[in-house]
Structure 1
Amino acid sequence: MAWDEWEQIKADGAARQSTSTRLNQLAAAAGGSRAGKPDMASSPAAKKAAAKAIDDDLEPGVTRDGKHAAEATKAAVKAFGAKDGHGWDTSGALKRAHETWEKQVEMLLGRLSSEKQALSATGISLQNNELDIAARLARQSRIQGI
């Protein structure tokens, strides 16, 4: 790679970093919003769409691809395994690595499920909080008695 190419790559990276969201800075002071956009990251419709995408695409895809990888790994373990009393060390190592990977896939599926449930319940939770606060304020309000 030529020096000029390297300098261009660094300049492009710096430009992307300056225009991207940075996690180590405070939000804009204009009422907690940036450029007139509200703080909430998504609308109820966007949350519903995200939960649907997890249900329709991500979970089935992870399950399908996990099964495919399991079949391919089992075939490799068998191919490297002992046939006449001698086998490759790779077989046992691959088997242990696959067991760890299967646990990670299970954890990912669990996380996707909990995220889906959280996305679905967020609107209900916020609405319940608002109703609870309104009820508490109504009990304490002196204006109602007038």
Structure 2
Amino acid sequence: MRLNGVPAANGSGGSGTFASTPAEKKAAANTIETELEPNTKKATEHADESTNTAVKGFEGWDASVGLKKVADTWDRQVKVLMGRLGSEKGSLRGASGLFVQNDLATGDGFRQLNTRSKLHGL
């Protein structure tokens, strides 16, 4: 059952695939590192420069105070975004390792069952 109540096209309720491949996770993490993080930093620096110029230009006016407040809010939001990007990057890089560990543990469990069944003549 899907939350929106519409069944999947194949009738199973899922896409038929478990997840992305380790290579896809690595590529996504690399995109975050080589494109999103540096481009976000550049955009932030450009916006900060422009805003600081505007704040100085309106010095003594209420607009200057308002722009400064907006700039401070922007900086906090960018800090949160950069933290989120870093977290997602780390999660993507760590997910493949966790899946491999889980697969190995599951395989070990089945091997133990197989060994026990052979010992008991099953």
- TM-score w.r.t. length of structure 2: 0.82
Cα distance change of structure 1 residues 111 and 26 upon mapping to structure 2, 3 Å threshold = farther
**Aligned partner of 1:62: which letter?**
T
Structure 1: distance between partners of 2:111 and 2:13 = 28
Residues 32-51 of structure 1 aligned to structure 2 (within 5 Å): 32-34=13-15, 38-51=16-29
Cα distance change of structure 1 residues 144 and 121 upon mapping to structure 2, 3 Å threshold = farther
More RCO (CA 8 Å, sep 6+): 2
Bigger shift: residues 121-130 or 22-31? 22-31
Cα distance change of structure 1 residues 109 and 98 upon mapping to structure 2, 3 Å threshold = same
Residues 81-92 of structure 1 aligned to structure 2 (within 5 Å): 81=59, 87-92=60-65
Please, which of 27, 44, 56 is the counterpart of residue 8 of structure 2?
27
Does 1:114 find its partner at 2:87? yes
The runs of 5 or more residues in structure 1 that have no matched partner are 1-21, 82-86
Off by >6 Å, runs of 4+ in structure 1: none
1:126 maps to 99
Structure 1: distance between partners of 2:48 and 2:24 = 34
Identity between Structure 1 and Structure 2 (%): 41
Q: How far 1:125 moved relative to its partner?
A: 0.5
Please, which of 71, 85, 101 is the counterpart of residue 98 of structure 1?
71
1:69 maps to 47
Checking the alignment, whether the CA contact within 8 Å between 1:138 and 1:144 is kept in structure 2 is no
Give the helix-richer structure, 1 or 2: 2
Q: How many residues align?
A: 117
The runs of 5 or more residues in structure 2 that have no matched partner are none
Q: How far 1:54 moved relative to its partner?
A: 0.6
Supply the RMSD in Å over aligned alpha carbons.
2.2
Cα distance change of structure 1 residues 144 and 55 upon mapping to structure 2, 3 Å threshold = farther
Does 1:57 find its partner at 2:35? yes
Checking the alignment, whether the CA contact within 8 Å between 1:44 and 1:123 is kept in structure 2 is yes
**Aligned partner of 2:8: which letter?**
A
- TM-score w.r.t. length of structure 1: 0.70
